[in-house]
Amino acid sequence: MRISVFGCGYLGAVHAACMASLGHEVVGVDVVEEQVASLAAGRPPFHEPGLEQLLGEALATGRLEFTTDASRAADAVVHFICVGTPQKKNENAADMSYVRAATETIVGLLKPGDVVVGKSTVPVGTAEVIAERIEEREPAAELLWNPEFLREGHAVEDTLRPDRLVYGIRQGDGGARAARVLDGVYAAALAAGVPKVETDLATAQLVKVAANSFLATKISFINAMAELCEATGADVTQLADAIGYDARIGRKFLNAGVGFGGGCLPKDIRAFMARAGELGVDQALTFLREVDSINLRRRVRMVDLAREVCGGSIAGRRIAVLGAAFKPHSDDIRDSPALSVAAQMQLQGAQVTVTDPRAIDNARKKWPDLSYADTVEDAVRDTEVVLLLTEWPEYVGLDPVALKEQVAVGRIIDGRNCLDPATWRAAGWTYRALGRP
């Protein structure tokens, strides 16, 4: 099938490469020239495990191209909208300018029978507006809403083998026909038994933000329990293990620590609250305000803990921060708890050195005032406190005995509850963590 993908960021670049790897002919369109040039040369502009290889293989078949020239998409029969919907400056709502621009470009290309597939995370009601716009320009084309649930760091496998496929379909023959076209695009996943939910446009749009809100709530729930644990001397990791054995609760996404960040969960819950307000049902999502507050409080608590272990002040103290990415296996630093804590400590007068296996370049651009080191050894040398804020496997596997030799004072704060306290204490470290005695 000839497919176009509008927007070649995390979502679109992975989607385009994966669709080409399945045998489709794909043209990826983006307005950012460097991004297109980098992808066309087989170099992903961000770190995503497996993507570089997939991209190289797909480009070599000749079935995948990247361009800034939208007219290259004119002979595609399925057009995916994969552009970003970042948070607006100083507002909770999503910035819809990229979705509007991509829609205008796509409607200018439509032919009878074409299918437009929305994948971007949007405020509910957006798809209906896009459908009207399509109807005005090409009544014999159709819109489907097909949200994406990919996690950074697992984007390739999440795209090729998703947990589920959701189709938002308009009533009528056009909608049903379009859904069968999308079945053709996802034939491999459907044949492998991936469950599919066929629903209306509104539900499909809500599924995505509801899923992310639930995940954010789960993380903030366990972080709220961590606050209780701190007040009572209890251990949040054991609490999570114990409640997680209940199959109705489940252990996943119950890791307490410095909280969630990234380009999705924080902005999605905020945009969802903003949309609920517009719809007159803001009370339904008031709890998300608390989810957001709990999450941000963990960053403050982390700085407080650093101050506590330093005896009341971090001014002038040498502190190492392990991790800059918002989570491991990613170079994404958007709303990264690690960098937010590092910057806060720096503002309070500490001498902070940050290291990360992948995200240093991005971090340096965003926070040029922080000091960076390429290796853990360089970052921790002569420091008085080490904060582990992104649980990269290489940090989880650090040898506390060897590391102790390099620091001035052995104090570790485990911001992700990913180290074994007994091993670190046995090696002579003062071990502290969020929600643990």
The binding site for ligand UDX (CB under 6 A) comprises 149-152, 212, 215, 219, 253-255, 257, 259-262, 264-265, 326-327
In the complex, what is the shortest distance from the CB of residue 385 to ligand UDX, in angstroms, rounded to a whole number? 21
Give the nearest distance from C-beta 57 to ligand UDX in angstroms. Answer: 24
For residues 65 and 331, which CB has a smaller minimum distance to ligand UDX in the complex?
331
CB within 8 Å of 102: residues ≥ 6 apart: 6, 7, 81, 83
Find the Cα–Cα–Cα–Cα dihedral 259, 263, 265, 268, rounded to 10°: 150
Least distance from ligand UDX to the Cβ atom of residue 107, Å: 26
Distance CA 247, CA 189 (A): 27
Integer angstrom CA distances of residue 286 from 149, 264, 283, 289, 420: 24, 19, 5, 6, 37
Helices (H), 329-417: 337-347, 360-366, 376-380, 393-396, 400-404
CA distances from 117 to 83, 175, 293, 407 (A): 12, 11, 34, 54
Choosing from 18, 229, 264, 310, the catalytic residue is: 264
How many angstroms separate the CA atoms of 286 and 292, rounded? Answer: 10
CB of 392 to ligand UDX, least distance (A): 11
CA distance 286 to 265: 16
Asked if 213 and 274 count as a contact pair (C-beta separation under 8 A), the reply is no
Q: Rank residues 103 and 120 by Cβ distance to ligand UDX and give the closer one.
A: 120
CA distances from 188 to 12, 195, 214 (A): 19, 12, 29
CB of 425 to ligand UDX, least distance (A): 24
Tracing tokens 């209906």 back to the chain, one arrives at 128
Residue 82 or 264 having the CB closest to ligand UDX = 264
Contact assessment for residue 182 and residue 144, using Cβ atoms and an 8 Å cutoff? yes
CB of 166 or CB of 264, closer to ligand UDX: 264
Cα 267 off chain centre by: 10
Residue 264 annotated as catalytic: yes
Do 432 and 416 touch, CB atoms closer than 8 A? no
Q: How far is the CB of 254 from ligand UDX (least distance, A)?
A: 6
Bridge partners of 432? Answer: 413
Q: Which is nearer to ligand UDX, 55 or 155 (CB)?
A: 155
Q: Which is nearer to ligand UDX, 222 or 303 (CB)?
A: 222
The answer to whether 404 touches 410, Cβ cutoff 8 Å, is yes
User: 420 in helix, strand or coil?
Assistant: coil
Q: In this complex, which beta carbon is closest to ligand UDX, that of residue 105 or of residue 223?
A: 223
The residues pairing with 91 across neighbouring beta strands, listed in sequence order, are none
The Cα–Cα gap between 90 and 48 comes to: 30
For 132, the token pair is 């009207």
We find the least distance from the C-beta atom of residue 165 to ligand UDX, in angstroms, to be: 14
List active site positions: 264
